[in-house]
Structures are given as C-alpha cells and as structure tokens.
Amino acid sequence: MQVIVNNVFFTLQEDESKAKIKLLKLLNVEDKEIQDFKLIKKAIDARKKDHILIVCSFLVNLKHPYKFFNTNIKKVNFVEDLAIPQIEMVKRPIIVGFGPAGMFLGLYLARAKTRPIIIERGKSIEERIKDINLFRDKGIFNGNSNVSFGEGGAGTFSDGKLNTGIKDPRIRFCLKEFIKHGAPEEIYYEAHPHIGSDKLRNVVKSIREEIISLGGEVRFEHQFIGFESRENLIVKIKKDRGTMYELKTDDLILAIGHSARDTYQMLYQQGLYMKPKDFSMGVRIEHLQENVNFSQFGKEYKNPKLPVADYKLVLHLPNNRTLYSFCMCPGGEVVASNSAENEIVTNGMSNYKRDFDNANSALLVNVKVNDYYQGSPLDGIEYQRKYEQAAYNLNCPYFAPIQKVGDFLKNKTTKKIGKVKPSYKPGYYFANMENYLPYFVVESLKIGLPILQSKYNFFKDDEAIMTGVETRSSSPVMIPRNEQGFSNIANIYPCGEGASYAGGIMSAAIDGLRVGEFIRKKYEK
C-alpha cells in the first residue's frame, strides 16, 4: 500500500534524518511495516519568525493495507513515469522551436521512435552563450541568438524556477527527466524547485544529445518561414545564410514561444486562427537580497537550513487593476530579453547558488484586451512593442531606463544610485518611469508601492531600483487548438507558451508532452 504523509514538521534545530521515527508515530505502525519512504515535498513555514518550521511530505510504501483516519495521510497510486509507446508514422514529425515545450515534445517523440526533426532559429547553447556575452559586454545584438532565441528557448538564461500553478501528473516525470539530464536532485522535493541558469545549460544540451541518439535531429540556425497545406503539409525553412528548403510532414508542431513576432505575423497571414488575450506590463524591481532574507526569516535568516528567501505578492487595487510580483529571482540579476533590434525588455535570472547581491522580481499590472484591441489579434504585440521601443535610447543603445523607488513616488528622475546597484547589462540610464509605461500601470504602481512598503520591510527601501520595461511575462496572443490538438488547420499543433497553453518552464514542458499524446492518439490503431 502506498500513502503520502503530509505535514511532517521539523524545527530548524531538529535533524531531518529522524524522519522515520516521525513517520512511525504518525502512521502508528510497527517499524517492519514500512518498506521504504521518500521525501517528495519540502517547504519552509516562516509565518512565526521565532519558530520557523520545515514542512515535509513523504511517500511511504507499507507492507499491508491499512485504514487511516488522519487527514494528513492519503492513499495514493503514485506515478512517476510516462508510458511512451512506439508511434508508427510514415513521415517524420517537425517541431518548430527548441524551448522547454519543443524539448520535452522532442524527447517524447524520439522515445516513441518517430525521429522528430526540430527546427530552431537560434544557435546551440555553446554558440548562444558567446552571442549573449557579446551583447551584455558590448551591446552587439544578434536577432536570432539572444536570451529569447536559441537552444533551450527563453528558459535557458533564466532562474530555472520550476514551480507552476498547475497540478499535473506529468510534473513528476519532468522533474525526473531534468534530474536525469543533470539538474540538482533536490528539485524533486523542494516546494520551490529551481535549477539555475548555470546548470540549465548542461541540462538542455544533454536533452538534445538524447534526442539525437534516438534518431531525432535538431537543426540550429534554421528558421521556419512558411507552410503550404493542401493534401500534405509542406514546411518552408530558411537556413541562416539564406538558402531555403522544404520538408514534407503530416505533423507540424509550433512551439515558437511568445517572442517570435515575425513568425506570428507570417502564421496570421497564412490563415492560422489566433485571438488577442490579456497580458501584463510593469517593471523589474531590485532589492538587497539580505534585506529580503531578514524580512522573510527574521533573526534566523543566516541559518544554513534556510534557502535564499523569495516572495510572492498580489494586490487587488481600487482602480480595478491587480499589481503582482512575477518570476522573482533571489540572488540574481536583471537581464535584457529583447528579441529584436531597438527594443528594451527586462526579465530576471539567477545561477544555482543564487548568491548575487540583489533580489529581483517583475512587478506587473494586468493589461486587458480592451486596453489595446483595435481589430487585429496581433494588436497586443504592437502595444508591447510601442513601449519597448520607447524605452530604447539612441544615445545609449540597449541601455535600460532605471529609477529609484523613492524618486518614482516623488515623480523625480533619479540622479544618483544608492546602495542597490542596478544589475542590468549592457547598462542603464536615469529616467522617470512614468514616461515609459501606460498610465494605468504607473497609477497602479503609485497606489500599490506604498501598500507594499507598509507590509514588507524590504519594500521600505527607497533606494530599491526599478528597471523598465517588463512586457513579456506572457503571450498577448492565443492560438486555440481542438480536441485533437489541431489549430484551425489540420495537422498543425500549437504548443507551449506562444500558443498560450503554458506560462513558464514546467507548464511549457508539460504542454510538449500533452501534444506528444495528441500525436500518439492520432496514430493509435
């Protein structure tokens, strides 16, 4: 019999190796009844700063069946593996995009022996790193090889956070695959699992190698530029130096992410149905990580059993908007994640150790379709672009506008940096953020920041830095699919974040697997 035992508490002074003693007590069984047990969830409860607890869940295999009346003990049938049967198909499937959605779909289809061909406009991780460093150090931008495009997709130069709002049995499978390919083992049980950008790079490469070893292909610097759909699908691809070629397939998967604006445009012109959707805009805010740690954990904040602190906050404001933190990166840095020339877009990343001085997080306000819609499903993209281009300053190309929180609240352009040093590269310029964001985003920040300052100590810091503009937390477009997984055009499957079926690394990976299952069903005899 398999059970999950939730709410097993440890104080910071207690030794977690005593887990079995606690389990025996909670289950009220004899020692020999427990065949084995495994930690599957570990979280910190710091609501009482003088009594911080580590809260764990364990999966326990018991020798005999029992009835339990304790609500913390649940009978389960725990699934960690995904059955991937061989799929018999004539033509090789084509996946566009090698982000988390394309990678996990690629893995699924390669294990199903379909020898997928993956088309990725960006470069392999080894080459991509060089381009990103060139941009960060010298401001030389490459439109096909940057923080948004290239091997591993937008997730590679990220914090590598794997938490997701969705509940899905495939999560365990994804976590196991990440670990198998080099991610730290603790992601399996941490409540807020994260890999870190430094480790993610090797994970991504290892997944590519497995796909290739199973007969799949990853074609870097190849861009999907169009298709014909009559009796058969013909996919048009451009190699980096401009040569074009075509491939025939019966299954074309679009895992293009939310930043491939030229690809959206082409797909729209070719008749792919899409609709506008709500998204969010705002700034990245940086605080000293030490202040966040102290604010969240109190005097225990240096205890080695505690992680680098994070936060998540939501405010529903009187102006009918929501202000919320998103993609908080402890001990990380603010990164440029524009995908085209002459734009400024912020995001955040961190390495495994999360040991940089600043904590950063997006501080976002919801943007409704009504705020921007003028008749085209791509209007949201235009709206984003308008603000991204306004933030681009010809006098200091690719530098981002920054402002101290105190100055923003007093409507003053910042003149001098305080103790929080902006981490954005290649550089920054002083600005008044009011000029770079929609009025309702500015209004919401002005209402919300004082409330946050009254609730969280680290928000009281007037020298905290705001860097703009954060426009790409989610896709402004949805490409709907039917119960077979098709778009309005048969055999074309929208997938991942670009189609609005995911919002983050884990949910994109899961959506890749979901599309794999659509394809499996299509060929089931």
Ligand X SMILES: Cc1cc2nc3c(=O)[nH]c(=O)nc-3n(C[C@H](O)[C@H](O)[C@H](O)COP(=O)(O)OP(=O)(O)OC[C@H]3O[C@@H](n4cnc5c(N)ncnc54)[C@H](O)[C@@H]3O)c2cc1C
Chain residues binding ligand X by CB under 6 A are 96-102, 119-122, 147-150, 153-155, 157-161, 223-224, 255-257, 260, 263, 327, 335, 337, 347-349, 496-498, 502, 504-506, 508
**Closest approach of Cβ 179 to ligand X, in Å?**
17
Contact 124, 219 (CB under 8 A): no
**Closest approach of Cβ 212 to ligand X, in Å?**
17
Q: Going by C-beta distance under 8 Å and a sequence separation of 6 or more, which residues neighbour residue 245?
A: 236, 237, 239
**Closest approach of Cβ 362 to ligand X, in Å?**
10
Contact 381, 476 (CB under 8 A): yes
Contact 87, 520 (CB under 8 A): yes
**φ and ψ at residue 36, rounded to 5 degrees:** -160, 165
Tell me how far apart the terminal alpha carbons of the chain are, to the nearest angstrom: 35
* Nearest residue (CB) to ligand X, 223 versus 444: 223
* Nearest residue (CB) to ligand X, 99 versus 282: 99
**φ and ψ at residue 367, rounded to 5 degrees:** -110, 125
Q: Going by C-beta distance under 8 Å and a sequence separation of 6 or more, which residues neighbour residue 48?
A: none
* Nearest residue (CB) to ligand X, 170 versus 404: 170
**Closest approach of Cβ 514 to ligand X, in Å?**
12
Alpha helices in 161-282 (DSSP H): 170-180, 197-213, 261-269
Between CA 298 and CA 302, with CA 301 as vertex, the angle to 5 degrees is: 150
Contact 439, 292 (CB under 8 A): no
**Closest approach of Cβ 128 to ligand X, in Å?**
9
* Nearest residue (CB) to ligand X, 41 versus 192: 192
Contact 256, 498 (CB under 8 A): yes
* Nearest residue (CB) to ligand X, 330 versus 438: 330
C-alpha 457/C-alpha 10 separation (Å) is 27
* Nearest residue (CB) to ligand X, 221 versus 407: 221
* Nearest residue (CB) to ligand X, 255 versus 437: 255
Q: Going by C-beta distance under 8 Å and a sequence separation of 6 or more, which residues neighbour residue 389?
A: 342, 343
**Closest approach of Cβ 471 to ligand X, in Å?**
11
Coil/strand/helix, residue 101: helix
Alpha helices in 40-99 (DSSP H): none
**Closest approach of Cβ 274 to ligand X, in Å?**
15
* Nearest residue (CB) to ligand X, 263 versus 293: 263
Q: Which of 86, 87, 84 is nearest to 104 (CA)?
A: 84
Contact 493, 486 (CB under 8 A): yes
* Nearest residue (CB) to ligand X, 153 versus 438: 153
* Nearest residue (CB) to ligand X, 99 versus 116: 99
C-alpha 90/C-alpha 240 separation (Å) is 28
Contact 52, 69 (CB under 8 A): no
* Nearest residue (CB) to ligand X, 161 versus 354: 161
Between CA 83 and CA 92, with CA 88 as vertex, the angle to 5 degrees is: 105
**Closest approach of Cβ 23 to ligand X, in Å?**
32
**φ and ψ at residue 402, rounded to 5 degrees:** -130, 160
C-alpha 26/C-alpha 37 separation (Å) is 13
**R_g of the chain, CA atoms, integer Å:** 24
* Nearest residue (CB) to ligand X, 122 versus 380: 122
Contact 54, 305 (CB under 8 A): yes
Residue with structure tokens 């997080």?
A: 361
* Nearest residue (CB) to ligand X, 453 versus 500: 500
**Closest approach of Cβ 158 to ligand X, in Å?**
3
Contact 186, 116 (CB under 8 A): no
**Closest approach of Cβ 64 to ligand X, in Å?**
41
**Closest approach of Cβ 350 to ligand X, in Å?**
8
**Closest approach of Cβ 518 to ligand X, in Å?**
16
DSSP class of residue 190 equals: B
DSSP class of residue 177 equals: H
